[in-house]
Amino acid sequence: MTRPIHATVHTQALHHNLQRCREAAQDSRVWAVVKANAYGHGIERAFDGLRAADGFALLEIAEAERIRALGWRGPILLLEGVFEPRELEACSRLGLWLAVHSDAQIDWLATHKTHTGLRVFLKVNSGMNRLGFAPARVGAAYARLAALPQVDEVSFMTHFSDADGPKGVAEQVARFAHATQDLPGERSLANSAALLRLAGDAAVRGDWVRAGISLYGSSPDFPEHSAADWDLQPTMTLASRLIGVQEIAAGESVGYGSRFVAERPMRVGVVACGYADGYPRHALTDTPVLVQGVRSRTLGRVSMDMLSVDLTPVPQAGVGSEVVLWGRAANGAVLSIDEVAHHAGTLGYELMCAVAPRVPMRVA
């Protein structure tokens, strides 16, 4: 038997989640955000499930090239624009749309040699204070872009800092609206959290929404809402098997640092999955797992190649039994990546992006 850990990307679930985003977006068009190699799923593996999107949004030319190689002829948006002027050549060749967030990027465009104009999304800094033009500078940036023969059409985008929390987006929406008032062009504001929570408001929906994490079956505002609350399905399963079982007595400990001590005699399963596979080392005892589709918990510290689980709720489990670290078990039971992330003090985003290259990933 080869090492039993593997990951599975679920095409149907991607499609389902995209439809959920579409419903929330109403008449607005939906970018499928596939940066970071489709949030760790692999662009090629995720493409079939997401091909009903109106466009793909990402960061790198190489990723855009891969989407074109899959036969996609629709819009592709570079969310941060180009990182150096010579990338503009590839933008023209591949027909990419690009964010423009700085004066330097406008300078580069002004010296770019092209016959066909590029579509740009002028990025407004409405309060996140990461990328974009301050509201007072938007008019001047727009005028410069609109006057360039290299630019075909100017649209506007901004990004929310607090769409998932109590602060909300009202202030940023107002600043964005004010900065772009009277300027013609399409608008894009919402990420997943804004889309699912606030897209009843047409000013939040805009013309294009940018859905990322929700496509991948993770709730953008866990634990306030779970993925199930939003009717999102897991798109990635990380599964392995038991490769050992220990029967331990009360008072015995499990793993490095003896961080778990048994209070009573118990069976402990050893799973072929560790932090070198991308499982979070910060997940301590009590992180949920599914053993043969039954919910149980981890015990003690995660090591590089193994972790231990409590077999008390699954007495029939033994060497070879299925263990799902997140995703869907063979019996249909679901363990959301968000729950595992929460136990490790992180987000579903980070876990799905961090599955290690040594874990074979297939599509189902």
Ligand X SMILES: *Cc1c(COP(=O)(O)O)cnc(C)c1O
| Contact positions vs ligand X (CB under 6 A) | 33, 35, 79, 159, 191-193, 210-214, 220
Rounded distance between C-alpha atoms, residue 201 and residue 105, angstroms: 32
CB of 175 to ligand X, least distance (A): 16
Closer CB to ligand X, 65 or 162, in the complex: 162
Give the catalytic positions in this structure: 35, 256
CB of 216 to ligand X, least distance (A): 8
DSSP tag of 326: E
Helix (H, G, I), strand (E, B) or coil at 1: coil
Residue 58 CA: distances (Å) to CA of 86, 186, 215, 309: 18, 19, 14, 38
Closer CB to ligand X, 190 or 291, in the complex: 190
Closer CB to ligand X, 22 or 159, in the complex: 159
For ligand X, which residue has the nearest CB? 212
Q: Where would I find the beta strands (DSSP E) of 37-145?
A: 55-58, 76-78, 97-100, 118-123
Structure tokens at 249: 């007595």
130 is in an annotated binding site: yes
CB of 214 to ligand X, least distance (A): 6
Angle between helices 138-147 and 103-110 (to 10 degrees): 10
Residue 126 CA: distances (Å) to CA of 82, 278, 327: 21, 35, 36
CB of 57 to ligand X, least distance (A): 7
Structure tokens at 119: 């579509």
Angle at 156 between CA 114 and CA 232, to 5 degrees: 110
Closer CB to ligand X, 56 or 260, in the complex: 56
Contact at 8 Å (CB) between 149 and 117? Answer: yes
Q: Per the annotation, where are the binding residues?
A: 130, 304
Q: Per the annotation, where are the binding residues for substrate?
A: 130, 304
